[in-house]
Amino acid sequence: MSPTARVGLFMLLALVVLGVFIIKIEEIPIGSKSGRKNVQATFPSVAGLDEKSPVRIAGVRVGIVESIALDGDRALVTLALDPQVTLHQGASAEVSSLGMLGDKYVELSPGPLSNPPLGPDAVLQGTSPLAFDQVLKTANDVGSDIQAVTASLRKSLGGDEGQRRVEEILENIRTLTADTRALVAANRSEIDATIANFRSFSETLKTELPKLAERMNALADRVDAVVAENRGNFSESLENIKDLSGRLRVSADNLNQITGKIARGEGSIGKLVNDDTTIDNLNSTLKSVESGVQSLKNTVGRAEGWKLNLNIRAESLPGLSSDNSSRSAFGLDLQTVPHRFFRLEMIDSPFGRLKTTKERTTVVFPDGHSETTTTDVVRTSDSATVNAQVGYFIREGLILRAGLFESTGGVGIDQNVLRNRLKLTLEVYDFNRETNPPHLRLEGRYFVTKNLFAYAGWDDPVWSQRSSVIFGGGVTWGDEDVKYLLGTASSVGH
């Protein structure tokens, strides 16, 4: 196969792969997903929810989030649903997530199937999950309440004042028992009359009791029959009652031991109630935990501000005479602060890596003496080269880069024009070439979509043996695209 045919086949395969990526990333509806219908929903908050996030019913993916806008103080979300999905009156929406740290998505409740279908202009009322900051605030409020309760107990029962109150309670109990004894003595005659009434009642029972006993015997016979029929269940119930009473007795003993330890100031709760030092240590611990949570929150906030871009590109160099007349690259850009980013790429260069070694040759003459000569030998290896650069945003649209360009030192400058759809690039590197000036690369990159780009230029125009025009294309993914691809891969895996 000729080099031109191989280049054409490679570019055709690259375009097919790029087409598949574009269909997946842009959520282009094809097949059964074509003709999606839009439904709007309002939420008090959609923090963490992004465009292209999944829409699910009973966990099944039925569409995507098409757009998110602000409607007053609420978020207005447009959902693109598959044609076979039908919502009924009473339908609702909720922002949910896959696990504790998973991606956010919209969970739809289609409403009762007996209700009529939802109108085309209906707006669903959505709910949002409780935010992590609100949970922390609630926990902080609970801690404050516990601290107030323990302070109140310490104030009521601790110290000389608490001991005095306990003594007053005991004195009141002694007084109550003395008053009860005096009351019984003062009403002894009435108690005697009550006893006489009981004697008369017993005489009545003497005559009526045989009749009652006969009825009780009949009832006992019936009960015996019932018990005989259900003896197994009855025995099991008695065993359960015995076990329950034993557990209640053990629980009561444990409760008495616990209250005794608290009263004596033993254990953590006893110290908490009676010891001021424990209270101070607890307050210090809570403050330390609060500061730790705040530090973790600040660290996570800084990491969330980073931006990551992945890119892959391939190009053809038809001006080269060698069999390998193409170059490909895969890498990433990591922006940690607004004015600086880092770039790391693996480059499959057609020239490989040049390595200079010294070779020594020794010649022995017939008379016995020898001469050694040293020569520099330049070899080309097929190993991949590396781009490792740091870039700075000088002003709007102007970027300066420096570092390794194809494993050699160099600098580059980028200028974005046409509202960032066209990027012009000049790179100068490999300053140590002995026979030729440094390697120059001129490139113009045009973004067909947000993710797909094509470019053309001139590579190494100052060295005629390696000079060639450039034709290529590639695809790039931002933070949101990477999150979507990972979410798609996770859902396919499940």
Comparison of pLDDT for 172 and 345, the residue scoring more: 345
> Which of 117-121, 150-154, 181-185, 481-485 comes out lowest in average pLDDT?
481-485
Mean per-residue pLDDT over the chain, rounded: 79
Task: Read off φ and ψ for residue 371, nearest 5 degrees.
Answer: -130, 135
Q: Model confidence over 349-373: pLDDT tens digits?
A: 877 655 556 677 777 778 777 787 7
Read off the pLDDT band of 400 (50, 70, 90). very high
Comparison of pLDDT for 387 and 152, the residue scoring more: 387
Instruction: Give the pLDDT mean for 203-232.
Output: 73
Read off the pLDDT band of 42 (50, 70, 90). very high
Residues of CATH 2.40.30 domain(s) within the chain? Answer: 36-129
Read off the pLDDT band of 263 (50, 70, 90). low
Read off the pLDDT band of 296 (50, 70, 90). low
> 341, exposed or middle or buried, with CB in 10 Å at 0-12, 13-18, 19+?
buried
Comparison of pLDDT for 343 and 317, the residue scoring more: 343
pLDDT for the residue 388: 95
Q: Does the pLDDT of residue 336 top 90, yes or no?
A: no
Comparison of pLDDT for 136 and 451, the residue scoring more: 451
Q: Does the pLDDT of residue 467 top 80, yes or no?
A: yes
The hierarchical CATH code for the domain 36-129 is 2.40.30
Q: Hey, what CATH class is 307-493 in?
A: mainly beta
pLDDT for the residue 225: 76
Q: Does the pLDDT of residue 14 top 70, yes or no?
A: yes
Instruction: Give the pLDDT mean for 285-304.
Output: 61
Residues of CATH 2.40.160 domain(s) within the chain? Answer: 307-493
| Torsion of Cα atoms, 275 then 277 then 278 then 280, to 10° | 130
Instruction: Give the pLDDT mean for 436-461.
Output: 91
Q: Does the pLDDT of residue 437 top 70, yes or no?
A: yes
> Which of 5-9, 135-139, 431-435, 485-489 comes out lowest in average pLDDT?
485-489
pLDDT for the residue 121: 82
pLDDT for the residue 446: 94
Distance (Å, whole) CA 398 – CA 375: 45
Distance (Å, whole) CA 128 – CA 126: 7
